[in-house]
Amino acid sequence: MTELTKRRTSEQPLKRRLFGYMMFLVAILLLALVLGLFFIGRFGSVREETYEKLDIQMQVFAKEITGHYDNLSYHAIQLSEEMTQLLEEYFEKNGETLDRLTDSADGIQAVQDAMFDPLRQRLLQAECSGAFVLLNSTINSSIPDAQLSRSGLYLQPCNFQRSDADVLFYRGIADVGERHGAMAHRKWQQEFRTDEFPDYAAIMDSAALPLETAYRISDLITLPGTSGLSVGITNGYYFAPKYDLTVSDLRSGLLRFSADPVSHVGVMREISFYEGDPGFVLCTMIPKADYDRDLAGSFLQLALLLLLLAFFAVTCSLFFSKRFLKPILDGLEQLKNRSDSPVEGTRIPEIDDLFRFLEAQDKAHEDAISRMERDAAQQHAKMQAEYEAAQAEINRLAYERDKEIDPDDYRLFLEGMQNFTPAESKVFQYYLAGKSSKEILELMSIKDSTLRYHNRNIYQKLGVNSLKQMIRYGALVRQKENQERGDA
């Protein structure tokens, strides 16, 4: 062992260096996290972002739809007032009434001629998909189901590029449409069928003034004999699903709209268009596949961020291991492989202090071992002398005892030992070892009667009368055997 010379060093303590390294590691990881979040743009969750976008779109749609239906309601009211005034003027001028128009083809044709241009003008102004006026009269009341047939006009904007007509003619007298330059649709019919209008009777019964509070928006219907969808007067602004949707919660305000085989994610709000409106539901949705793709992209970006953090953590750990742990490990390796050569410093005060402390401990340990070796040698010599004296005393006592024992009895004892059964031999050895009868019963797991049987046989074979005599002879036999082994 060598003595490590004490020396002062300007190196920082281990605790302070470790604290500095850990603070630097935390700063690096925080910087990596902030940069990752900044570049990936994941400060907000996909659910929250999706809800915010859909909610903003919902507000825009609600405002636009409400304004759109307000505009349609305005034009519908204006059309009703215009048609009412036109009919009143026509009836007053011609001395007619609405009831007297039934079965009057000429009267109905004249009324439709008067209504056509105002209806077309209002249709084009309202920018809707169609407009119609229905009269409570019919051209021929004698035909079957005549009470369900009603005359009137139904026009739609014409979008055919090859036609000069600006409107399509769905309902009304054919000559009226031809005179006004309207293009007859292939599904044209002369009159409406009221039984094909949902809730027609209820609508007629609830009609009242003023129109500003009495108008209503009907359910989504297909006008009889056409393929167009109509809700009151509408331009098909919104899309109504062709299947029933099941709504469930997706958290963060989002809802899932499910139907076989499609599924959407969106938000829902009730809106009202007029006084007494039972309320309509407006939904803004995106395909769930797009939402799932955004979620998967978010998870992938998060995984990449975690991998980036893991890379920085591993890199920093390797760097700190080299800068901080390696000197400690080198010092420990020197400690394990110490020899007579001087131990080099580790530049870590705590490790160098440990070397100096261990050096002092080694020296103190060597001095203690030297003292113990000297004391042990002296004690051994003393014990050896005491042992030799005791052995001499034992030999003397054995010689004296040998002279007291009858040689014939001793020879009989030796012969009897040769005739023991295995069980008797084991019992005999237990007695010589100082075991009591109770202990022998437990060791051999036998009954008391069995032990008494073995004892009687042993006494007979050895020629002894008591346990004390048997143990005395047995001790003498063992003593002589030990002497013979010692002489050999």
Residues 388-406 as b/e (b if ≥16 CB within 10 A, e otherwise) read eeeeeeeeeebeeeeeeee
Residue ranges of domains in the chain = 67-291, 349-404, 405-487
Q: Strands 255-259 and 246-249, how do they pair?
A: antiparallel
Q: Indicate the length of the chain as a whole number.
A: 488
| pLDDT per residue as tens, the chain (488 positions) | 444 344 444 555 655 666 677 777 777 877 777 676 665 555 457 778 888 888 898 888 888 888 887 888 888 888 888 888 888 888 888 888 877 888 888 888 888 888 899 998 888 888 778 888 888 888 888 888 878 888 889 888 887 766 677 888 889 898 888 898 888 888 888 888 888 777 777 777 776 666 666 666 666 566 555 544 333 333 334 556 667 778 888 777 888 888 777 788 888 888 776 666 666 778 888 888 888 888 888 778 777 877 887 787 777 767 766 666 666 667 667 666 665 555 555 566 766 777 777 778 878 888 888 888 888 888 878 877 776 776 666 566 555 555 566 778 888 888 888 889 999 999 999 988 888 888 999 999 999 999 999 999 999 998 888 888 888 888 888 878 777 776 65
Using the structure block, give the residue that is written with the tokens 């051999």.
Answer: 444
pLDDT at 43: 45
Residues 6+ apart with CB under 8 A from 50: 254, 265, 286, 291, 294
- For 437, residues 6+ apart whose C-beta sits below 8 A from its C-beta are 448, 451
The H or E element containing residue 453 is helix 448-462
Pairwise CA distance, residues 70 & 78, whole Å: 12
Give me the pLDDT at residue 412, please: 87
Bridge partners for 150 per DSSP: 192
Alpha-carbon gap, residue 364 to 223, rounded angstroms: 112
3-state secondary structure of 464: coil
Contact in structure between 259 and 243 (CB atoms under 8 Å): yes
User: Residue 186's Cα: distance from chain center in Å?
Assistant: 59
Q: Identify the pLDDT of residue 336.
A: 66
Strand runs labelled E in 272-393: 280-287
Q: What is the pLDDT of residue 453?
A: 93
Q: What is the side-by-side order of every strand in the sheet holding 167-171?
A: 131-134, 152-157, 167-171, 183-189
For CA atoms 250, 254, 257, 262, give the dihedral sign.
negative
DSSP letter, residue 8? -
Per DSSP bridges, beta strands 246-249 and 183-189 are unpaired
Q: How far is CA 192 from CA 84, 124, 154, 173, 354, in A?
A: 19, 22, 9, 11, 108
- Identify the CATH number of the domain defined by range 405-487: 1.10.10.10
Q: Which residues 6+ apart lie within 8 Å of 203 measured at CB? A: 197, 216, 218
Residues in contact with 13: Cβ distance below 8 Å, sequence separation at least 6, in sequence order: 349, 350
d(CA 336, CA 338): 6
Compute φ and ψ for 185, nearest 5 degrees.
Answer: -80, 155
Q: Return the pLDDT at 3.
A: 42
Terminal C-alpha separation, the chain: 47
Position 297 scores a pLDDT of 81
